[in-house]
Structure 1
């Protein structure tokens, strides 16, 4: 990571712009640049703090060799971009990298207790120390943010002078200097004391600064600061309520991630040269018109045969949402998942394709009838898969899963035709539940009642976080969705115990709708726990039968029982029932829904009603 270059202009040989020679500030993995330290997030490096810069300059600063383009047409179409780029590699030979800007600017000195902007300490070039005391400066522990995604400095001056000048401007007018010290009596906010040398205001503690209306009571509203875009980026009109956060809080930055599997006919890479032309090609229905366009663009040397181009156009139109004149993002994402489900069911035999094929899904050789008593059917061995995960935007204060486009903050000031993304190559196991047995089970009144409690709680959370409750997306909680979600969690936990996989190395992908009832569990990393065949081997019917039986029996008991199984509500806002970290919850990197909408009672039943469990017969009820 590197901070932005100095503003003064310099020239190199023959007046050309010189190569940047910017100081390095730590290193992050490519995956972290998508999931943890993406654009707009805060990152601590040693005793300094930075915000990751926007992507407006990334097209020039990211080297093509260190940050290559990657293509996934189905996901690019969903997100309305032409292609994706891997974040720059971070190694000793990197020429440039992810750029950062210092934030917060307010720092304090542990010796002299001065609290002021970093530049006012007169630090030596390249160091973050007090020019007087020569000790390391401490970045402000407190920042402010709003639900629209803006990020700002904590208003220390207004906080100190609030009793006298409530609602004053952000520029101190008393002529004094701010001081910050710690009394040392406790580790609470009460021991963090801020004062001003003007003598017009008493020394106050930070206690109460985290109240929801603490800044509103000072007459302060969000002015739309966006420090990750630089000082030249104009502030946006906002006016929303600001909230105080600790600099390292997870609420400061939440990524909005979207992903897609590479499935035929897009999974062999042959369509990549056409990545920037699909929107234009879709305007033509006639084969002759497509041929003329390709000849003009590629000067008669199109790398993809015309027959393949027409087949790809037909495949793309098949994913258009049915009956939707102006499909929403959710409709298009659902259509993308439907096509993946169809391909996972039908398979894609390796012997029929070249070595470049990135999706290989085959039927296991064993007798699948052993799974019939469990209500499980259609297991498939996904021997090769490729998933592309793109960083679409980010949010602050609110969960990215429950947000709307209006609450998502884009990654750049001006629209870009690409997004940062990462690709994962691995393997997995796909299975489905028997539709007849599932249909009969989900109609049971007791099952519907339990799921309705979770759905109501989740819908309430969504409405509380929305500006307009009437436009809130309905909760996805249904009996089959909660069942599939909980089953996926216990299978991943079982494989982490029996097959040697770390739970964080596996990931779920759910296919739950009126016409879908499937689970794909796959390797979520490409390191030593990646695609070596270990997970695929777990999909053979005999072994899968043993795994499911063992996982379900393990889910019968939790170390937190009877509190867990008899819980009336758990999780964020009561969106879970019988689920906790001792039984079915997973690392957040493994779960599609942030560990909500889980209930193991739908698998194994409750002490009062064991038949509410889908696997009640297997357990002898």
Structure 2
């Protein structure tokens, strides 16, 4: 990672940054999407930085260190031309992911002063107090709002809140702020802020209250430090809240993903990435051929007939209905096409060395699965998933936020997004549709699922800019059952096959006409594609895994509190679900460990019949 060059830094003839930018630490490429993406805070030694936006990154990211990757279906959904892997910088690299120092407020543990970083007159290249030589400590506290804005904690207003309401211009008293710890405890009460102007010193206790800054008359200023100080503030009417600098609420990625499925999964269409929008507007084969010959100077990389077939396949994913479809409808259409391909498989394409999707029917007898209500297992022997960083949120989980609360990665629209690709394997299975429909229509099942749906929709309305336009919750008996089953299967396979739970990931297909689960390797390291997961998809082993998972979920070490819970999880969006039974690492779950209920798998002591697999426990 590299901070942006200072204004006085010399540049080359073309205005490019000087070749020797200061380096500040290193992170894995995958972390630039999931943990330390644009707008996030990252600690390097005793310093703190915010990862810069993507303005200009397409030019200063070197093509050999940050190659392009293609996934047409996802690019179309996100309205970009292509994706790029974050830079994998070597020791000889001249550039990389850029960062900016944030927060600017620092304190000196020796002299106790609390001021802006540059006011300490640190030596060049070091973060030290110019007076006493001690390493400076970045502010432990920042403020943020649900619109994604980020700012410094207003220490001056906090300590002067007893005079003039704390709303006067910061610093006009002429005093110097100091920060110290009383040492009496590790609570906020022991963190003391004072000013040499003589106002009474105050502790940080109460600064995390939801209305603490609002009571001071302070509103969010709309600052976006990841985009630079020269970018004007974004108008904002929300109240900011205090957060710990290292809190997970400071930054949550909005990730969207797609599987590479035929006819896009052999890589032949990749050279056409930047031309699909133009090709889609053409309505005849002759027009497409003329366009290809013009763009590629009579040497198109893909035959015209294949391009026409790809355009037809793309139109098949268009959502039904009039008008412009919403993002959620287009994303659901993408999932429907994946579901169809996973059901159908593609055994005949296995011989292609470039094929990135190989899905086969297991050879074993499926009879052991029939009593369980499980059908259609498929062995996904080769799989490629592309995950793109669309945006990020603060304070609100991405799964519970509307698109209006997503913070942008740049000041202007981009024709590309950062992404990563995962190659691995997986197991796909479905639930028997007739048995599922009969179970989901039961009044006790509907009533239990309705409690989760109502809580989730209440949360969506609370976090939406316009509550009347909040999206509908996907929670229903079918979705909650599939989601909980995926979680218990991942736990079971982590025991049976030796996988860490964090190395497996779920992909749910829960909608009208869909009732499937794909469990696949979520990392491309040594746990990625060794065949161990695919082996679990053989019918006999799969039946044993389902039975084992159901029996394990029948009892939780937190019972009876867990199974009798009236509400759990974020804002009551779970029922019988906790970290002792069905919850997984965050990297494994599509819905941030919400919309779960173990009782819909195994039933409750009072109503055992509401469990889809209750017969296995008889």
Q: Which TM-score applies when normalising by structure 1?
A: 0.98
1:472 Cα shift? 0.6
Which of 111-120 and 2-11 deviates more?
A: 2-11
Which of 444, 447, 450 is 2:445 aligned to? 447
8 Å Cα contact 1:178/1:196 also seen in 2? yes
Equivalences for residues 495-506 of structure 1 within 5 A: 495-506=493-504
Tell me the residue number matched to 1:149: 148
CA deviation map 1:465-516 (0-9, x unaligned): 1121110111111101000001000100000011100000000000001100
Tell me the residue number matched to 1:584: 582
Tell me the residue number matched to 2:421: 423
1:403 Cα shift? 1.3
Tell me the residue number matched to 1:188: 187
Aligned counterparts of 1:351 and 1:471: Cα–Cα separation in 2: 44
Aligned counterparts of 2:209 and 2:193: Cα–Cα separation in 1: 17
Tell me the residue number matched to 1:93: 92
1:90 Cα shift? 3.6
Tell me the residue number matched to 1:404: 402
Tell me the residue number matched to 2:613: 615
Tell me the residue number matched to 1:258: 256
1:525 Cα shift? 0.2
Aligned counterparts of 1:515 and 1:34: Cα–Cα separation in 2: 32
Tell me the residue number matched to 2:10: 10
Tell me the residue number matched to 2:384: 386
8 Å Cα contact 2:160/2:166 also seen in 1? no
1:186 Cα shift? 1.2
Aligned counterparts of 2:614 and 2:237: Cα–Cα separation in 1: 54
Equivalences for residues 10-409 of structure 1 within 5 A: 10-11=10-11, 19-199=18-198, 201-349=199-347, 351=349, 353-409=351-407
Aligned counterparts of 2:27 and 2:267: Cα–Cα separation in 1: 28
CA deviation map 1:329-351 (0-9, x unaligned): 01100100000000000001155
Q: Is the partner of 1:166 in helix, strand or coil?
A: helix
8 Å Cα contact 2:350/2:358 also seen in 1? no
1:93 Cα shift? 3.4
8 Å Cα contact 2:455/2:572 also seen in 1? yes
8 Å Cα contact 2:258/2:387 also seen in 1? yes
Aligned counterparts of 1:565 and 1:405: Cα–Cα separation in 2: 34
CA deviation map 1:347-375 (0-9, x unaligned): 01155541100000000001112210000
RMSD of aligned residue pairs (Cα, Å): 1.2
1:549 Cα shift? 0.8
Q: Number of residues paired by the alignment?
A: 618
8 Å Cα contact 1:155/1:170 also seen in 2? no
1:581 Cα shift? 0.7
Tell me the residue number matched to 1:472: 470
Q: 1:375 to 1:224 in 2, by over 3 A?
A: same
CA deviation map 1:37-80 (0-9, x unaligned): 00000001111000000000211221100000000000000000
1:165 Cα shift? 2.3
Q: 1:614 to 1:397 in 2, by over 3 A?
A: same
Q: Is the partner of 1:194 in helix, strand or coil?
A: strand
- Could you list the runs of 5+ residues in structure 1 that have no partner in the other structure? none
1:305 Cα shift? 0.5
Q: Is the partner of 2:557 in helix, strand or coil?
A: coil
Aligned counterparts of 1:188 and 1:11: Cα–Cα separation in 2: 48
1:324 Cα shift? 3.3
Equivalences for residues 540-559 of structure 1 within 5 A: 540-559=538-557
1:223 Cα shift? 1.4
Aligned counterparts of 1:510 and 1:6: Cα–Cα separation in 2: 47
Aligned counterparts of 1:17 and 1:75: Cα–Cα separation in 2: 32
- Could you list the runs of 5+ residues in structure 2 that have no partner in the other structure? none
8 Å Cα contact 1:106/1:139 also seen in 2? yes
CA deviation map 1:167-203 (0-9, x unaligned): 534431111111111111111111111111112x111
Q: Is the partner of 1:550 in helix, strand or coil?
A: helix
8 Å Cα contact 1:261/1:388 also seen in 2? yes
Q: 1:212 to 1:17 in 2, by over 3 A?
A: closer
8 Å Cα contact 1:158/1:218 also seen in 2? yes
Aligned counterparts of 1:273 and 1:319: Cα–Cα separation in 2: 21
Q: Is the partner of 1:618 in helix, strand or coil?
A: helix
Tell me the residue number matched to 1:484: 482
Which of 606-615 and 418-427 deviates more?
A: 606-615
8 Å Cα contact 1:373/1:618 also seen in 2? no
